[in-house]
Structure 1
Amino acid sequence: MGLARLTEAEWLQPQPDLAARRRGFADWPEGVELTREAEAPGRELAAMLGVQGALPEAALAAHEDMCLLTKAPGDDQYRLIGAAVAWPSDWHPKDKIGLPLRALHAPIAGYEEHLASGVDRFMETLKPGAIFGRCNWFIAATGERRWLETRPALEAFAHVTDENAGETLFVRSERQTLRRLPETGAILFTIGIYVEPLAALSGGNTAMLALAASDLLKGEGDRRGAPAYAESLIQFARKRNAE
């Protein structure tokens, strides 16, 4: 899972752009999906952040999108019971709400074979007070924080060339955290979105990203659209590091 232990001070971005959050949710109300089970943990979370309300208000008060998961008696997996997502990475909460973890991650190549058991074990043993974080990344054809691609990858990246890749490819990083709420026992999953054009990265980070894109072509590349952009990204990195 690539998790690292975080302190309370490292949990959420300390200076969120609250106006951008308000616009994000106002422009895309579909980003909020709630079940009845989300009410109590949502209110607990809002109180932790010092705001009135529940999950939607908590997510409005932070840079991060927020999801709640619980495991009901008799279930063998945690389920998504609430989502407040202004800036999704190509997913719709309505399609995920109520699903268990393994179904949520079904599109990810190798998840069931290599990660599912470890994730289930981590969720079971996560203690209140402990905070863990990890990062994920994507390459998008837009610099917008909300990424909902409807076109095939070859069409979305059709304008990208080796020469313009620095300005037309956007690196989308997700800073994710997990913690258990102490009163309700629900697990909070946060997703902080950061987007920059490829050219904004350092030479070293560009080189590492090119290597990762090469690896994607051998694994999960089709789901992430890598065949449509990887070669241009790799060539951009080679030219940059040759300068």
Structure 2
Amino acid sequence: MSHRPWEDGADFAIGLAPIDEARWLEGGEADPALLGVTSFGDLPPLYAAARTVADDLVLVEKTGDHWRVSAISLSAPTFFTAREVLGRSLADIHGPVNGFNDRFLARLVRIFDGLRPGLILQRRNWSVVNSDQPFTPFPAPVRARIGEIAPGDVGRALFTRVERQTVRRLPETGGVLFTIRVWLTPFQALAERPGQLAAFARAWRSAAPGFAAYKGFHLYAELVEAFLRAHGESHSVNGA
């Protein structure tokens, strides 16, 4: 379990940090530099590039004053579809995230405006889901099954879903390539690592209200708390 962003807390944060090019993509890539994609004939460039990597790819380009999604290859969406984001601006896409546009949008635009070629930035976020499938474009079918989960099955039925995201400038066009890689880990794996379970429990119980509401934590609250108590994590945020 190489990615544990809950150890950094539970609130919305841009959290972009520079990484070396060697760490850009994390496995399964035929060509980490995204070169040689012309071997796929007449396929659109982004689609051809997507055939060489395990990450989803999103091309964001500036039109007028707004950065907009101009092309996308999506195989592991977390409750959104390509149709919902294609052609839309960063402000439109992040509108449903409570407080994002007020707190972070201007900073994100500055980052995209100032991103220099050769610099690669990484961030991670996380949620809890009751599905082991990377392809989850719609939340309703997944969440409709929550009531079927018995407390004793939580370790196998619930997963932490981590998105590792990177951004980098495309030097020829000036666009920004946004990559997304999803990692799913069953709760049982957390229980096997007490230190990681304790860190998760702290983040879960201290989650900022806006973050928790957007992620739908209330839907899983009883199951998660029962699991944490069953594995020795009975201390609450309030110390009760």
The bucket for the TM-score relative to the shorter chain is 0.7 to 0.9
Cα 1:129–1:155 shift into 2, 3 Å: same
Match of 1:112 in 2: 101
Displacement after TM superposition at 1:161 (Å)? 4.2
Is 2:220 the partner of 1:234?
Answer: no
The 5 Å alignment of 1:104-183 reads 104-151=93-140, 155-183=144-172
* Structure 1 unaligned residues grouped into runs of 5+: 19-44
Q: Count residues in correspondence.
A: 214
1:29 corresponds to = none
- CA contact under 8 A between 1:176 and 1:192: conserved in structure 2? yes
Q: TM-score normalised to the size of structure 2?
A: 0.81
Counterpart AA for 1:230: A
CA spacing shift, 1:157–1:47, aligned 2, 3 Å: same
Using the TM superposition, give the Cα deviation of residue 139 of structure 1 relative to its aligned residue in structure 2, in angstroms.
Answer: 1.2
**What per-residue deviation string (whole Å, max 9, x for no partner) do you get for residues 87-124 of structure 1?**
11110111111111010111111101211111111111
Q: Please name the residue that 1:93 is paired with.
A: 82
More displaced 10-residue stretch of structure 1: 120-129 or 146-155: 146-155
**Percent identical residues:** 31
Higher RCO (Cα < 8 Å, 6 or more apart): 2
- Give the AA of the match of 1:51: V
What secondary structure does 1:210 align onto?
helix
Report the TM-score, using the length of structure 1 for normalisation: 0.80
Contact kept, 8 Å, 1:3 with 1:134, in 2: the verdict is: yes
- Per the alignment, residue 26 of structure 1 pairs with none
* Residue 11 of structure 1, aligned match among 19, 24, 27: 24
Q: Structure 1 residues 98, 232: closer, same or farther in 2, change over 3 A?
A: same
Structure 2 residue runs without a partner (length 5+): 1-13, 235-240
Does the CA-based 8 Å contact 2:34-2:52 persist in structure 1? no
Report what 1:66 is aligned to. 57
Q: CA deviation at 1:142?
A: 0.8
Aligned residue for 1:49? 35
Change (3 A) 1:232 1:200: same
Q: Does 1:184 align with 2:166?
A: no
The match for 1:39 is: none
Q: Secondary structure at the match of 1:219?
A: helix
2:224 is the alignment partner of 1:224: no
Structure 1 pair 217–8 and aligned structure 2 pair: CA distance change class (3 A): closer
More helix by share: 1
AA in 2 matched with 1:108: V
Counterpart CA distance in 1 for 2:128 and 2:226 is 15
Aligned match of 2:199: 208
1:16-35 alignment runs, 5 A limit = 16=29
Q: In the aligned structure 2, how far is the partner of 1:155 from the partner of 1:48?
A: 39
One-letter code aligned to 2:231: R
